[in-house]
Structure 1
Amino acid sequence: MNHTLLSTPSARPAGSGLAWLLEDFVNRVPGAEGALLASRDGLKMAVHNLTETEADRMSAVMSGLFSLARGVGNIKGDNDGLVQQIVIEHDAHRLFVMSAGSVPSDGTTPAAIGELLGVLSSPEADPGVVGYGMAQLVNSVNEHLQTPVRRSTGDGQ
């Protein structure tokens, strides 16, 4: 694996939120075509190189895949584990989804629901390079990857 392609992210542009990290990732990782950061329940947080429609679709797919993948632990009754990564290989693209941000695993009600990092790549992209780059990105900014739990106002809205 060529780790030189996955150098440290460049300096952060002012006022760019987390989208600059996704742009830097797509520019640095061979085969990466677009990236999306979304809450685990499908709310888009940051996007690079995807149209609004593509980002909406990808966010919904990522959320659904994550929800389904959580069921893997239920097969043998092991509910304590977390989904680390999901890879879908399609003729036209590969979709990588990685858990990002941390949530309590002690059964308490979380103050945050965590996020998902999704990367759409060409089918020729090296899955090891993309996965390594995603893990590197998540580990470097993990403390910023949490979505506060949205609470009802109690007035029916």
Structure 2
Amino acid sequence: MTTNNDVIYSVLDNNLSRIAGIEGAVLLSNDGIGLSSYLLDRDRAERMAAAASGVAATMKAISREVEGGQVIRQLVETDDRYLCIVACGEGSTLIVVTSRKARLGELGGEAVRTAQALGEWLGTPERGQSPASS
């Protein structure tokens, strides 16, 4: 029997394995709960989920303040890694971590494509919201 987590992992693997230097990814609800991870141990994935939810919320607030519309992705460069944070469905976020071997265009493009693939069927409502009825 295939579970939702199996499908999520399959989408992550099929899309993100193409990125040079891929180190892992976490799919999280916007309140910081890890929903699935790719190539990361559970403790690290949970810590990243909690931290990334704060970054994503901050960027949404800044975008609202400057009337910038929906945040598509955030790219963070550190000394040794790239991080790409992408909105994924309603109320979910994907964070992808790579080494500096990754090409930024490839990282950003694959992260957005992966988020879109997941977002088509994954609609994690934000806390306080109920899922849209069909």
TM-score > 0.5, shorter chain as reference:
yes
Q: Distance in 1 between matches of 2:119 and 2:61?
A: 24
**Aligned with 1:17: secondary structure?**
helix
Higher mean alpha-carbon deviation, 42-51 vs 14-23, is at: 14-23
Which is richer in helix?
A: 2
Structure 1 residues 64 and 149 mapped into 2: Cα distance closer, same or farther (>3 Å)? closer
Contact 2:75-2:85 at 8 Å conserved across structures: yes
* Larger RCO: 1 or 2 (CA < 8 Å, sep 6+): 2
TM-score, scaled relative to structure 1: 0.71
- Bigger CA radius of gyration: 1
TM superposition outliers: structure 1 runs of 4+ over 4 Å:
none
Shift of the alpha carbon at 1:74? 4.2
Unmatched runs of 5 consecutive residues or more in structure 1 = 1-12, 103-113, 152-157
Q: Is the 8 A contact 2:20 2:101 kept in 1?
A: no
Question: 2:93 is matched with which residue: 116, 119, 122?
Answer: 116
- Whether 1:96 and 2:84 are equivalent positions in the alignment is yes
Q: What is the letter of the counterpart of residue 73 of structure 2? A: Q
The percentage of counterpart residues that share the same residue type is 28
**1:37 deviation in Å?**
0.7
Gaps of 5+ in 2: 129-134
Higher strand share: 2
1:134 to 106, 111, 119: 111
Scaled by the length of structure 2, the TM-score of the pair is: 0.82
In the alignment, residue 123 of structure 2 is paired with which amino acid? Answer: Q
Task: Please list the CA deviations of residues 76-116 of structure 1 after superposition, one character each: whole Å capped at 9, or x if unmatched.
Answer: 4x2x72111111111121110001114xxxxxxxxxxx210
Are 1:147 and 2:120 counterparts?
no
Aligned AA (2:80): A
Preserved CA contact (<8 Å) 1:38 1:115? yes
CA–CA separation in structure 1 for the residues paired with 2:114 and 2:102: 17
Match among 32, 56, 61 for residue 71 of structure 1: 61
- Superposition pairs for residues 9-20 of structure 1, below 5 Å? 14-15=2-3, 16-20=6-10
Q: How big is the alpha-carbon RMSD for the aligned residues of Structure 1 and Structure 2?
A: 2.0
- Deviation, structure 1 residue 124: 2.2
Is residue 22–residue 36 contact of structure 1 (8 Å, CA) maintained in 2?
no
Q: How does 1:46-61 map to 2 (within 5 A)?
A: 46-61=36-51
